[in-house]
Amino acid sequence: MVMWLVIAILGIILLYIIFAHFGSKPLYYRGVKPSGFKRYIDNLLLRGEPGSFVIIEHEGSERFLQLALQAVDENVLTFEMGFPKVSWSSPYYESVARAANELGIDVIGEPGVKGGPVTGFLRMSKKGSYPAVL
């Protein structure tokens, strides 16, 4: 009887270690077409907790877009998008900020890190209910 109890406890500890190790790593989905992004953004908005985020990287280049769920209060979401000003994004930086403003998205420009590759950062956020924040 004691042996079965020890085996059960060791099994629970082993499962905890496995889930703690693999559950803390990000999941990568390769080869997703732009038409498939909505699925991941919807999952972020519907199931995510504040602080959850999705990074969409362009394979074969340095390009990326970071989307984050900042807050959920009484069915009101605060959805945030980050856009860095680096070598690949500099040509688009001002037009992205202008387009976001035209869409009613709050835009805050932040300085980059001194001496680092990021010379500026756009923090764009929209507050509302789902799916209005999209």
Among residues of the chain, what percentage have pLDDT more than 70?
86
Place of tokens 């989905």: 29
Q: What is the mean pLDDT of the chain?
A: 79
- Give me the pLDDT at residue 26, please: 67
* For residue 133, pLDDT beyond 70: no
Average pLDDT over every residue of 25-33: 74
Average pLDDT over every residue of 60-82: 78
Confidence of residue 22 (pLDDT cuts 50, 70, 90): low
Average pLDDT over every residue of 81-89: 86
- Give me the pLDDT at residue 24, please: 59
Q: How far is CA 47 from CA 52, 67, 72, in A?
A: 9, 14, 11
Confidence of residue 87 (pLDDT cuts 50, 70, 90): confident
* For residue 131, pLDDT beyond 70: no
d(CA 78, CA 67) in angstroms, rounded, equals 11
Confidence of residue 123 (pLDDT cuts 50, 70, 90): confident
Q: How far is CA 94 from CA 57, 85, 90, 102, in A?
A: 20, 9, 8, 12
